Amino acid sequence: MPSYTPPATTTDTRTGTRTEQVHGRPSRLAVADALLTLLRDTTTELRPDDQLEALTLSVAADLPVLLWGEPGIGKTAALTQLAEALDLPLTTVIASVHEPSDFSGLPVVGDDPAEQGVPMAPPDWAVRLVRAGRGLLFLDELSTAPPAVQAALLRLVLERRIGSLQLPPGVRIVAAANPRGSAADGWELSPPLANRFVHLQWTHDHDVVVRGLGGTWPRATLPHLDAAKLPTAVEHARRAVCGLLTTRPALVHRLPSSEARRGGAWPSPRSWDMAVRLLAFAHAAGSSREVLSMLVRGTVGDGPGLELLAVLDRMDLPDPEDLLADPTNADLPERGDRRQAALDGVVAAVRKRPDRARWDAAWALLVRALETGAPDLVVVPATTLAALRQEDWDVPESIERLAGVVTLSRRADRSVARAAARTGDPVGAGR
């Protein structure tokens, strides 16, 4: 009978993989493990990613986030990578396989319940989070959790309490859900639970996926907040939200009429408070408008979110009086719609308080706009400004530089009108 030889272990100096050997040869399963180790060997890189930035901003703002996406889109992988990048222990809880008592706490009868009461014992994963003092709690498959479980989650998401246990401030909450049509026995989220989350639509980026499958994924990092901007960021966020709700009081609380929309983002005093927080963080981090759009629409819904973005655009426009004071060195917005609004604001300022010096300064500003941006943006302001001329005002030389642009635009409009008349289409229908 052959004697038993225990497996020996060797370490590959290149990969660091430990391999079991039997009779001097690697075992088949050990070789498979070595291959799996190589496949898991990936790196990360700093890469602009709007949805990842929106997620990290929400996590930094300590707001519960809900990622919506089709199955297999990479929500779980993104959360795993986020926890590793932030050095936070990840605790995953599949909401749909738990009972309501798992989140509200199990009653534990003591020696004298009539005198001491019956405490509610928390689950083991909550105890581990409290002991760690920090972590990322990932509530997966939220849309497959039945209504009773969703109701039990309300206190956990908002107050961070499970039974008699209070989660520490260092714990962040992120959830994931599939749309009802692609979820296994899916439910719509209840309005009270939905209104506690920042809703982010999670989609795949072709380039990110291809590069990630090649071994390099985007790196999730917390946003860099400019300490000098913090007071301004808070004032900016509060002024924007309060300005909108002052003129649109109906948006303070608007519960959607359809069940599906109630399970998403909608405006309430709670979600507007979340919007203020996210606006302040985004301003301090210098986030792009795309990221800002994801955050505000994911908090108060598409319609109110777009109205808030319009308010922010108007707030960020330069003061017309500042532009008129130094037109030749004016710093005009780069984005076309905001530049157009700034020029229209200057013309409106001249109309409100017309005099020769302000009229000349406005023409100099239009020349500045012509030199630094698209020529067609000055056509309407130039035409309106020309109509404000009084009889004793000489025509400035700068008008000659703009005359060609206005004339060319009018010729183009007449050409479009003639073409539309020939085809029978209304003027401008194709533009």
Domain residue ranges in the chain:
8-41, 46-106+119-218, 227-315, 320-423
Q: Which two tokens stand for residue 183?
A: 């979820």
| pLDDT tens-place string over residues 89-145 | 999 999 888 888 888 777 776 666 666 666 777 888 899 999 999 999 999 888 888
Please tell me the predicted confidence (pLDDT) of residue 294: 96
Please tell me the predicted confidence (pLDDT) of residue 370: 84
Q: Spell out, as residue ranges, where the chain has pLDDT lower than 70.
A: 1-26, 109-118, 180-186, 398, 400-401, 403-431
Please tell me the predicted confidence (pLDDT) of residue 58: 95
Please tell me the predicted confidence (pLDDT) of residue 420: 54
Please tell me the predicted confidence (pLDDT) of residue 416: 41
Q: Does 46-106+119-218 carry CATH code 3.10.450.50?
A: no
Please tell me the predicted confidence (pLDDT) of residue 250: 94
Please tell me the predicted confidence (pLDDT) of residue 407: 55
Please tell me the predicted confidence (pLDDT) of residue 96: 81
Please tell me the predicted confidence (pLDDT) of residue 244: 93
| pLDDT tens-place string over residues 360-388 | 898 888 888 888 888 888 888 888 888 88
Please tell me the predicted confidence (pLDDT) of residue 245: 94
Please tell me the predicted confidence (pLDDT) of residue 303: 94
Q: What is the pTM of this model?
A: 0.74
343 vs 340: CA distance, rounded Å: 5
